[in-house]
Structure 1
Amino acid sequence: MNKVLIALGLAASVALVGCNKQKEPETGATTGEHLENAANQASHDISDATKEAEAKTQAATDEATSKIEAAGNEAAAKTEAAAKDVKNAAKEATANTAGAIEQGASNVRERTQQ
């Protein structure tokens, strides 16, 4: 009975050691080749991600530049309109002042002639 148990123990040990053997990858490539391929793929993935990030950054920069330019143009147009309003108001105030002076002078002449 002991011999049977010892034989079973040895068979189990051999089976376990046999199962732990590393099999070659199904592709026939070595582990080093798999690692090299994985490194190449990672390099390509990083390159692609970098290009995508660069494109998105450029698009965001272009959009921001466009919005800043539009805001600058709008501010310039509003400043020009305000300057025209100030100029027109100054002309009107000058005309009103001149009219008031003429009216005052006319009133003074009438009084002096009476």
Structure 2
Amino acid sequence: MKKFSYLFIALFSLSLLTTSCREEKSTGDQIEEAVDDTGDAIEDAAEDTGEAMEDAADDAEDAVE
């Protein structure tokens, strides 16, 4: 009986270790996340473009002087 109890405890422990507790995302959540990531990327690109334009304007001013 003691061996049976140890076997049961070992199998139960193994099942706990192999069971995934990762949360599954629904399709709607995945789409929303992709849209948010795309919006962030567009904002970053717009900021980089604005900074590049300001740098180019500064360089043009320095060249004139």
Q: Please classify the TM superposition score into its range, dividing by the shorter chain length.
A: 0.5 to 0.7
- Paired letter, 2:27: T
- In the alignment, which residue of structure 1 is the partner of 2:55? 59
Q: CA deviation at 1:54?
A: 0.6
- In the alignment, which residue of structure 2 is the partner of 1:34? 30
Gaps of 5+ in 1: 1-25, 70-114
CA RMSD of aligned residues (A): 1.3
* Count of aligned pairs between the two proteins: 44
- Secondary structure (helix, strand or coil) at the match of 1:53 reads helix
Q: Runs of 4 or more off by more than 6 Å in structure 1?
A: none
Q: Given the two structures, how large is their TM-score scaled by the length of structure 2?
A: 0.63
| Partner Cα distance (1:30, 1:44) in 2 | 21
- In the alignment, which residue of structure 1 is the partner of 2:3? none
- Paired letter, 1:42: T
- Secondary structure (helix, strand or coil) at the match of 1:29 reads coil
Q: Given the two structures, how large is their TM-score scaled by the length of structure 1?
A: 0.37
Gaps of 5+ in 2: 1-21
| Partner Cα distance (1:27, 1:58) in 2 | 45
| Partner Cα distance (1:64, 1:57) in 2 | 10
- Paired letter, 2:30: H
Q: CA deviation at 1:61?
A: 0.4
Q: CA deviation at 1:27?
A: 5.2
- Paired letter, 2:58: D
Q: Relative contact order, CA 8 A, sep 6+: which one is greater? A: 1
